[in-house]
Amino acid sequence: MHLVKTKHTQLTTPEAIICILLYRKWSSRIVQSAAEQKQQIIMSHLEPEAKIFACSQSVYLAEKIAEQYGIPLGKVTMSTYSDGEFQPSYEESIRGLRVFIVCSTFPTADNLMELLLMIDAAKRASARHITAVMPYFGWARQDRKDKPRVPIGAKLVANLLDAAGATRVMTMDLHADQIQGFFEKPVDHLFASTIFLPYVESLGLENLTIASPDMGGSKRAYAYSKFLESDVVICYKQRKAANVIDTMELIGEVKGRNVVLVDDMIDTGGTLAKAADLMIEKGALSVRAICTHAILSGGAYEKIENSKLSELIVTDSIPLKRHSDKIRVVSCAPLFAEVMHMVHHNNSISGKFIM
pLDDT in the model for residue 40: 56
Average pLDDT for residues 216-243, to the nearest whole number? 86
Reported for 220-224, long-range contacts at CB under 8 A and 24+ positions apart, including other chains, are 220/262, 220/263, 220/264, 221/262, 223/193, 223/355, 224/193, 224/197, 224/200, 224/260, 224/262, 224/355
Is the pLDDT at 78 greater than 90? The verdict is: yes
Alpha-carbon gap, residue 122 to 54, rounded angstroms:
12
Residue pLDDT, tens place only, 294-308: 999 999 999 999 999
Is the pLDDT at 349 greater than 50? The verdict is: yes
Query: Lowest-pLDDT range, 6-15, 51-60, 265-274?
Result: 6-15
The answer to whether 32 touches 97, Cβ cutoff 8 Å, is no
Is the pLDDT at 5 greater than 50? The verdict is: no
291 three-class SS: strand
Residue 124 φ/ψ, nearest 5 degrees: -75, -15
Peptide bond into 108 cis (omega under 30): yes
> Annotated active-site positions, please?
237
Alpha-carbon gap, residue 20 to 26, rounded angstroms:
10
Q: Which of the four pLDDT bands, split at 50, 70 and 90, describes residue 46?
A: low
Is the pLDDT at 213 greater than 60? The verdict is: yes
Beta strand 258-266 with 208-212 is parallel
Average pLDDT for residues 281-285, to the nearest whole number? 96
Q: Which of 122, 311, 107, 295 is nearest to 202 (CA)?
A: 311
The average confidence (pLDDT) of the chain is 90
Residue pLDDT, tens place only, 263-278: 999 999 999 999 999 9
Average pLDDT for residues 248-270, to the nearest whole number? 95
pTM: 0.84
Q: Which of the four pLDDT bands, split at 50, 70 and 90, describes residue 353?
A: confident
Average pLDDT for residues 104-119, to the nearest whole number? 97
